[in-house]
Amino acid sequence: MEMALREGEKMRKRLVGRRWSRRDFLKAGGGAFVGAYALGMAGCGGGGGSGSGELTVLTWGSTSGEEKGFRDLAKRYNAQNPEVPVRMEFVPPEQAYEQLDTRLAAGEAPDIARLQYQQMGRYASEGALVDLSEYLGEGYGDAFTPALWQAVNYEGAPYGMPQHTDTFAVFYNTDIFQNVGIEVPRSMEESWTWDEFLEIATGIKEEGAADYAFAYNWQTDTAAYRWMPLLFQHGGQLLTSDLGAPDIDSSAGVETVAFTKRWFDEDLVPPSTSIKSGEQIETLFSNGTTAMMLNGDWLIPFVVDNMEAGWDVTYMIRDQGMASDLGGNALAVTRDSPNPEAAADFLKFAANEENMSRFCIDGGFIPVRTSLAEQGLDYKQSPEQMNRFVEQATTVPEKMAQEQTVPAFGNIVQVLADQLESAFKTGQSPEQTTRNIASGVQEALED
């Protein structure tokens, strides 16, 4: 279980924004995959999708519950639609996009592909996905939380189906909090402000209750976008309202960089947890090095299995407003599917209330239908904590979802990683950092 969770988290950090050229793929050993893929497709007929009338779904399963959720979903659909059987193709998480890109280039893509929301704009803009408008009907998206429906839209049209999400909250060591006498928020409206959070973190450090007060999950270049909720909490935004230009070189941008830079300057977080470190902060939390971690719901199984001290979860910090991380995945119909109508029907089946509920319970995910988010789910593990994450996920800003799904976002994330790392590790000023981010974002948008 621990190994599977670690691999899943590594995949989340690596894959956002990665664009694979044919040369990149061959260097990565793609030739071996092409040979295996050719053998696997023998007898399936020509063209994309499947030549036998079935629907193929390219996905991954980072945990046993996640894979079970997909297999059970296919079984339920097959029972109701025997004339259009669904076949799941599981690939290693770190190979998902390279395999999809290679198959798209060959005109042999699966009917349906699983995509991170941050990948939607890239694939839609390149013509790799099918516009689902004619299959969904007017008002279909009203049943989903606004930010997640926005995440699958490109130029006003839906190119994917939201299936689930994940987000950030604050994990804390209950033993340390009890010893220091820290009260925790019991509702989202009572969540700690930036000032309150820094006061608590400073107190933990001064008391010597832990080596460091907390850590924040943004390690590796491709996870730098997880800094953006803090920017939105402070009233800022990365891009202008039309998404055509940077808007981070502002007082809100400068002050958000200064806020997060202070964490490192005042030794509130381990120096090994900067953007490009690759540190596994869940280990630092579970072994007591940090008293808190701002991290995602998918780490709950790891904490349950590895932490000897008591722990719990409270709500994400806030400032002028609330905001948290946009995580999770969608399902999309590829341009190579010979039967996009049937593929779209499977997407609707996967996202109906009953199936979304089952899938999220099996895999430990957060639902993206408003009705399910409002009522919560009967999770098998840590249901009280998981439903706090469900509540927190409603604070993901719709504008942030728009920004994180622009086609150029992969290059924008690299700009964020480079400049935030310089601010946190080399002393680059917040003012210079936001200027550099703005310049790099402009270049990425024009590329």
If one compares 4 and 185, the residue with the highest pLDDT of the two is 185
Q: Which amino acid is at 148?
A: L
Same domain flag for 312 and 176: yes
The C-alpha atoms of residue 85 and residue 75 are separated, in whole angstroms, by 9
* Alpha carbon 408 to chain centroid, angstroms: 17
Same domain flag for 117 and 226: no
Residues 29, 32, 36, 38, Cα dihedral to 10°: 100
The C-alpha atoms of residue 230 and residue 263 are separated, in whole angstroms, by 13
Determine, yes or no, domain membership for 363: yes
Asked if pLDDT for residue 436 goes beyond 80, the answer is: yes
Q: What is the mean pLDDT of residues 388-413?
A: 98
The C-alpha atoms of residue 337 and residue 276 are separated, in whole angstroms, by 38
Same domain flag for 22 and 74: yes
**pLDDT tens string 150-195:** 999 999 999 999 999 999 999 999 999 999 999 999 999 999 999 9
The C-alpha atoms of residue 318 and residue 195 are separated, in whole angstroms, by 9
Determine, yes or no, domain membership for 313: yes
Classify 323 as helix, strand or coil. coil
The one-character DSSP state at 153 is: E
Same domain flag for 210 and 154: no
Give residue 64's pLDDT: 81
Give residue 49's pLDDT: 60
The C-alpha atoms of residue 214 and residue 182 are separated, in whole angstroms, by 14
Classify 214 as helix, strand or coil. strand
Give residue 237's pLDDT: 99
The one-character DSSP state at 57 is: E
Classify 349 as helix, strand or coil. helix
Same domain flag for 198 and 300: yes
Classify 352 as helix, strand or coil. coil
The mean pLDDT of the chain is 91
Determine, yes or no, domain membership for 100: yes
Asked if pLDDT for residue 373 goes beyond 70, the answer is: yes
Which structural domain, as residue segments, surrounds residue 284? 168-325+408-446
**pLDDT tens string 198-242:** 999 999 999 999 999 999 999 988 999 999 999 999 999 999 999
Same domain flag for 148 and 63: yes
Q: Which amino acid is at 140?
A: Y
**pLDDT tens string 10-50:** 444 444 443 333 223 323 333 333 333 333 333 333 345 64
The C-alpha atoms of residue 177 and residue 385 are separated, in whole angstroms, by 17
Give residue 1's pLDDT: 45
Q: What is the mean pLDDT of residues 247-259?
A: 99
Residues 431, 436, 437, 443, Cα dihedral to 10°: 150
| Domain total in the chain | 2
Q: What is the mean pLDDT of residues 107-123?
A: 98
Asked if pLDDT for residue 415 goes beyond 60, the answer is: yes
Closest CA relative to residue 201, chosen from 215, 190, 188, 187: 215
Give the chain's length: 447
Strand order from edge to edge, sheet including 212-216: 212-216, 290-296, 168-173, 311-314
Contact 49, 56 (CB under 8 A): yes
Same domain flag for 130 and 174: no
Same domain flag for 192 and 287: yes
Instruction: Tell me the CATH number at 298.
Output: 3.40.190.10
Determine, yes or no, domain membership for 345: yes
Q: How many CB atoms lie within 10 A of CB 423?
A: 24
Q: What is the mean pLDDT of residues 370-378?
A: 97
Identify each DSSP E strand in 300-367 by its residue range: 311-314, 329-333
Determine, yes or no, domain membership for 402: no
Angle subtended at Cα 200 by Cα 199 and Cα 202, rounded to the nearest 5 degrees? 65
Same domain flag for 30 and 133: yes
The one-character DSSP state at 191 is: P
Closest CA relative to residue 324, chosen from 389, 393, 263, 370: 393
Determine, yes or no, domain membership for 401: no
Same domain flag for 273 and 185: yes
Q: How many CB atoms lie within 10 A of CB 309?
A: 13
**pLDDT tens string 276-288:** 999 999 999 999 9
Determine, yes or no, domain membership for 180: yes
Determine, yes or no, domain membership for 403: no
pTM: 0.89
Contact 394, 188 (CB under 8 A): no
Q: What is the mean pLDDT of residues 146-152?
A: 98
Same domain flag for 332 and 318: no
Same domain flag for 198 and 96: no
Give residue 63's pLDDT: 80
What spatial distance separates the first Cα and last Cα of the chain, rounded to whole Å? 41
Burial of 72 (0-12, 13-18, 19+ CB in 10 A): middle
Asked if pLDDT for residue 358 goes beyond 90, the answer is: yes
